[in-house]
């Protein structure tokens, strides 16, 4: 099967990458989503997520926004802007101080390009206090603020978060599909901590959480010479979607896994893959022990109004012992047909 709107980002004329697995249709992965075979999504269709703290639909909104799949807009002229935001916590930890933020231009085939800026969150940074998560103390978690000038808009960027203290508290996370539009608009229209644009709130992941996820998914630690993929499926309005299936064109340890619905401490739920449920309300997916130093395509599909649809596709790279993060937000203006 091939989903609708499968002709952007070079999909219409793609060829399978070297080392891609599988390269033919199988019963487990029967959907060819841009030369990336993906498990067929549930026929019940995708559902807009609500009652969440991040990337949640407004009350009463039940219709996914998929307009960008066919009308992604145009890319404007790059300009220098000031990017602001707060460093969020994936699960464990109660203060995102000591997180180093590096911004890079995205190079060819998802490689790291030129460095744009560096910032380290400290005890002097203003913070927003969150109390909703059960992982936070009674007084709440402190999410540290940053403000980085001279960041190019209308440019594909990668944001890396890492440990600035040398204590090994924070793991390395490389966040893809960062594209500041012009005029500047905020990322995360459903992120309550993003008040004005351009704004983006990257995630810091405690180093212990990486192996906790691996243990829940495959019962073992990650291979330090390989890397982890983690991401979310959103609609064009940046709202999380349940009922989507995702996979990569490069091999990984075990099947692609999806997370449960526990927003403050999400863990892999192997029943979702086995029962063909796809993403939960969090839209979260993951894969372990992917090869490093090669392009890796990630594609997501889902049924919408009875039609098999390519919800997003993107090429990233994987880094040893690190997490590559990707939020698929439909089709970007920079993803055009060949």
pLDDT per residue over 89-135, tens digit each?
A: 997 889 999 999 999 999 999 999 999 999 999 999 999 999 999 99
Give pLDDT tens digits for 266-287. Answer: 989 988 887 789 999 999 999 9
pLDDT of residue 190: 64
Query: φ, ψ for residue 84 (rounded to 5)?
Result: -120, 165
> Which residues are bridge partners to 236 per DSSP?
none
* Segment 127-167, tens digit of pLDDT: 999 999 999 999 999 999 999 999 999 999 999 999 998 88
Per-residue confidence (pLDDT) for residue 146, from 0 to 100: 94
pLDDT band at 189 (very low <50, low <70, confident <90, very high): low
Q: Among all chains, which residue has been given the structure tokens 């070297």?
A: 18
What does the pLDDT read at residue 338? Answer: 47
- Beta-carbon count within 10 A of 273 CB: 20
Average pLDDT over residues 254-263: 93
User: What is the per-residue pLDDT for 195?
Assistant: 67
**In this structure, what token pair is assigned to residue 122?**
């400290």
CA distance 27 to 12: 23
CA 227, distance to chain mean position in Å, is 15
Looking at the structure of the chain, the number of domains it has is 1
CA atoms within 13 A on the CB side of 88: 21
Q: Is the pLDDT of residue 64 over 50?
A: yes
Q: How confident is the model at residue 16 (pLDDT cuts 50, 70, 90)?
A: very high
285-309 pLDDT, tens digit each: 999 999 999 999 999 999 999 999 9
Containing structural domain, residue 219: 1-338
**Are 55 and 239 a contacting pair, CB within 8 Å?**
yes
Structural tokens at position 187: 């990322």
* C-alpha closest to that of 206 among 229, 173, 245, 176: 173
Give the integer Cα–Cα distance in Å for 300 and 309.
9
Neighbours of 304 (CB within 10 A): 23
What is the percentage of the chain residues whose pLDDT exceeds 70?
96
């Amino acid at each position: 099967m091939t989903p609708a709107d499968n002709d952007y980002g070079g999909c219409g004329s793609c060829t399978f990458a070297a080392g891609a697995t599988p390269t033919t249709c199988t019963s487990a992965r029967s959907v060819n989503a841009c030369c990336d075979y993906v498990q067929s999504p549930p026929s019940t269709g995708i559902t807009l997520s609500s009652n969440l703290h991040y990337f949640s639909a407004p009350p009463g909104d039940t219709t996914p926004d998929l307009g960008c799949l066919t009308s992604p807009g145009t890319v404007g002229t790059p300009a220098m802007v000031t990017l602001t935001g707060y460093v969020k916590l994936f699960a464990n930890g109660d203060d995102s101080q000591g997180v180093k933020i590096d911004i890079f231009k995205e190079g060819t085939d998802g490689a790291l390009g030129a460095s744009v800026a560096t910032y380290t969150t400290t005890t002097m940074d203003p913070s927003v206090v969150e109390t909703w998560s059960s992982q936070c103390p009674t007084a709440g978690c402190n999410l540290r603020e940053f403000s980085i000038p001279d960041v190019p808009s209308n440019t594909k960027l990668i944001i890396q978060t890492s440990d600035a203290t040398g204590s090994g508290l924070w793991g390395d996370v490389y966040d893809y599909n960062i594209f500041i539009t012009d005029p500047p608009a905020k990322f995360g229209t459903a992120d309550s901590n993003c008040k004005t644009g351009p704004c983006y709130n990257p995630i810091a992941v405690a180093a212990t959480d990486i192996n906790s996820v691996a243990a829940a998914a495959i019962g073992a630690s990650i291979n330090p010479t390989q890397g982890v993929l983690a991401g979310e499926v959103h609609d064009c309005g940046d709202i999380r979607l349940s009922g989507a299936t995702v996979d990569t064109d490069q091999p990984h340890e075990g099947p692609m896994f999806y997370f449960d619905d526990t927003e403050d401490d999400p863990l892999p739920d192997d029943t979702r893959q086995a029962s063909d449920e796809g993403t939960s309300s969090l839209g979260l997916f993951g894969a372990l022990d992917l090869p490093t130093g090669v392009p890796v395509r990630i594609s997501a599909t889902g049924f919408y109004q009875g039609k098999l649809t390519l919800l997003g596709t993107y090429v990233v790279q994987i880094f040893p012992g690190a997490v590559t993060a990707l939020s698929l937000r439909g089709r970007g203006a920079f993803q055009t047909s060949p």
